[in-house]
Chains A and B, each alone.
Chain A
Amino acid sequence: MSTNSKGIAIGQQDPTWVRFLVISISIAFVALMLVLPLGVVFWEAFRKGVSAYVASFQDRNAVRAIYMTCLAAGIAVPLNLVFGIAASWAIAKFNFRGKSLLIALIDLPFAISPVISGLVYILVFGMQGWLGKWLDGHGIQIIFAVPGIVLATIFVTFPFVARELIPLMQEQGSEEEWAAISLGANGWQTFWRVTLPNIKWGVLYGVLLCNARAMGEFGAVSVVSSNIRGGTNTLPLHIDALYNDYNSVAAFAMASILAFLGVITLIGKTLLERKLQQETSSSLESTTTEESQ
């Protein structure tokens, strides 16, 4: 807080024109690069009227694409939630060999291009891949099918929950857990009654970002899905296909769903950030507050 108020104080000493210039550049940049394109999405979607917009959703392929996106996110997000909590619990509360390697590996999906991750899955699970023959022999199809899309989505959205929780849990330490255990709580009770309530806003925040990314993922999914319309196309892939067909109203109508999701995510993120700050600051406060009574 002190740095914040200090920052304002220093800023107030700058000449008015400097302040005006810096603020204007920021606003102009945001308007031009972010707000304008978002507006265009909705503008284009409704260009031929509401009925044309609504009609876009009655297409069988569109419904299938929405379903596929929800399916992929619906599987990937819960799995990454469980993984994220487990990994951050392990990293924040225990010391073990290979801990720093685990932390580095969690960030891998951030570091490499989504297209590569899609290709990797083809190399492993595809017909010509390492496991392709065996899988084919057992009648399991992963690439160019739903499992491949789900796997690619999980890979890309892997770090979101864990990345959010690791610093939060490290900050909070494990004293409260020890207190619970010394009072006779078992591991399960400790997790549900003490750990989870302490990180709930962080979990929600991670899930929100994870979901936004899962629904919007293009590159990795594009490689493993083979773009079968009405089959393996997810919403972003369907939008791309429509646009390539010069069906811009339908493309932007679909895009408006994702844009809308983006706006909702942004609002949710802002609200959660405030809650999250309370989560962090109250853990800090309990260690620094001293007063007489």
Chain B
Amino acid sequence: MSIEIQNISKSFGSFSALKNISIKIENGELISLLGPSGSGKTTLLRVIAGMESPDPNPDSHVLFFGEDVANKPVGDRKVGFVFQHYALFKHMSVFENIAFGLRVRPRSQRPSENAIRDKVHSLLSLIQLEGFGTRFPKQLSGGQRQRVALARALAIEPQVLLLDEPFGALDAKVRKGLRDWLRGLHNELNTTTILVTHDQEEALEVSDRVVVMNQAKIEQVGAPDDVFHHPASEFVIDFLGNVNVFHGRVNQGQAVLENIQVGASDISIPAGEKANVYVRPNDISIDRVPTGKSSIAAKVTRINRAGVHAKITLMLHNQEEIRVDITMEHLLELNLQLEDLVFVHPNKARVFVPDYTI
């Protein structure tokens, strides 16, 4: 189902949780709301579900398939909501938890006992927990509980799945497994799914599109590779993975760091403006000798070989630390040791001129 959010604001007392948010979510899309805690992503999800009402404003609308749902209570919106802490009914068996949404229907729409049983069993096999129907939530692991919570939400055949940090309380390994499983499930069910997360890796890996939020506003909306490679703001580049920040100045439309010029910036920016240069650890090369390109001298302070890439920490002569990721082969080739003097050169950089307005 396509969902359209138009000019939604929400404040709690003097705290602004959402500031004039607009976004369109396409039918069948898996979209992530990504941001740090307090960025408003959960509030936005709860507004979509109908658990929070947005601040009154004639221009603000939540549209499901073009229809305004402002006056539709939560139960009528046909949304499957999954909570971070599962919110399973602890006094009910797994079977009864999943059957709940069917059992509370008005008598005229309630499926027969047999139909309920078939439905619950098919959902149990979908979440790979056949034979767990008689267990209680207490007897399940965290990952199993969250799958039951998902099955419970799916039982009402929702048009949209809303997941509020569904894997936030799970450990890394279970999390990764469930994430892949969720993506497969989404494709299979062909629903519209909105996933709230603060984990950038999770968002970038499973989503069709990512909505990066910060301080009650949307910073950027785009496909994962788009937001990762073409971040629209300093916040986005900083939030999506490790990044080195250099502080330079603008000269002839280019940012100047030390003695070198990096990444073309807008030529119209007057010289002398402060420029922040962001370089990802894998976009920096290390050489033993200064290359033809102008490079910066640095000293090796730490070498971490645990991982696919070697993580090298270096110190510039102005005491600033930078992180560089290189392949293991390259590390062997260079034969780096602690305290070695090397030359680094950013291959790809993003330049932002803070607070610059034309």
Chain A residues in the interface with B (C-beta under 8 A): 175-176, 178-186, 189, 193-194, 197-198, 282-283, 285-287, 289-293
Contacts and interface: CB of A to CB of B under 8 A. Distances in A.
A163 to B, nearest CB: 23
Contact of A291 (B73, B100, B142, B152): B142
Interface in B64-97: 73-76, 79-81, 83, 85-91
B153 interface: yes
Given A183-B101, A289-B142, A283 B87 contact: no
Interface of B: 49, 51, 73-76, 79-81, 83, 85-91, 100-101, 104-105, 137-138, 141-145, 149, 152-153, 155-156, 169-171, 173-174
Nearest to A172: B90
A293 B129 CA distance: 12
B131 to A, nearest CB: 14
12 contacts: A180-B104, A182-B80, A183-B153, A184-B105, A185-B101, A197-B89, A289-B142, A290-B170, A291-B143, A291-B174, A293-B143, A293-B144
Nearest to B143: A293
A182 B79 contact: yes
Contact of A197 (B51, B91, B138, B153): B91
A198 B90 contact: yes
Contacts of B169: 287, 290
Contacts of B88: 176, 179, 286
Contacts of A183: 75, 100-101, 104, 152-153, 155-156
Contacts of A180: 89, 100, 104
Contact of B141 (A179, A181, A291): A291
B90 to A, nearest CB: 5
A286 B91 contact: no
B85 A198 contact: no
B100 A285 contact: no
A180 to B, nearest CB: 7
Contacts of B145: 286
B104 A186 contact: yes
A184 B104 contact: yes
Contacts of B90: 176, 198, 282-283, 286
A286 B85 CA distance: 7
Contacts of B81: 178-179, 182
A292 B104 contact: no
Nearest to B171: A290
A83 to B, nearest CB: 24
Contacts of B101: 183-185
Residue with the highest number of chain B CB atoms closer than 10 Å, among A176, A178, A198, A286: A286
A170 B265 CA distance: 54
Given A176-B87, A286-B86, A286-B90, A292 B100 contact: no
Across the A-B interface, give the 5 residue pairs with the lowest CB-CB distance, nearest first.
Answer: A183-B101, A175-B87, A185-B104, A179-B87, A182-B81
Contacts of B174: 291-293
Contact of B74 (A175, A181, A287): A181
Given A176-B89, A180-B89, A291-B142, 18 more contacts: A175-B83, A175-B87, A176-B88, A178-B51, A178-B74, A178-B81, A182-B75, A182-B80, A184-B75, A184-B101, A185-B101, A198-B90, A286-B88, A287-B169, A289-B142, A291-B171, A292-B171, A292-B173
A202 to B, nearest CB: 13
A36 to B, nearest CB: 43
Contacts of B91: 197-198
Contacts of B143: 291-293
Contacts of A198: 90-91
A209 B287 CA distance: 78
A10 to B, nearest CB: 32
Contacts of A189: 104
A289 B170 CA distance: 8
A193 B105 CA distance: 13
B127 to A, nearest CB: 12
Contacts of A293: 141, 143-144, 174
A179 B197 CA distance: 19
B87 A285 contact: no
Contacts of A291: 141-143, 171, 174
A290 B79 CA distance: 27
Contacts of A197: 89, 91
Nearest to A178: B51
Given A292-B141, A293-B143, A185 B87 contact: no
Nearest to A287: B85
A286 B137 contact: yes
A285 B169 CA distance: 12
B181 to A, nearest CB: 12
A160 B311 CA distance: 61
A185 B75 contact: yes
B51 A175 contact: no
Nearest to B169: A290
Nearest to A176: B87
A289 B85 CA distance: 10
Contacts of B142: 289-291
A181 B73 CA distance: 9
A194 B90 CA distance: 9
Contacts of A292: 141, 143, 171, 173-174
A140 to B, nearest CB: 43
A199 to B, nearest CB: 11
Nearest to A190: B104
A244 B156 CA distance: 69
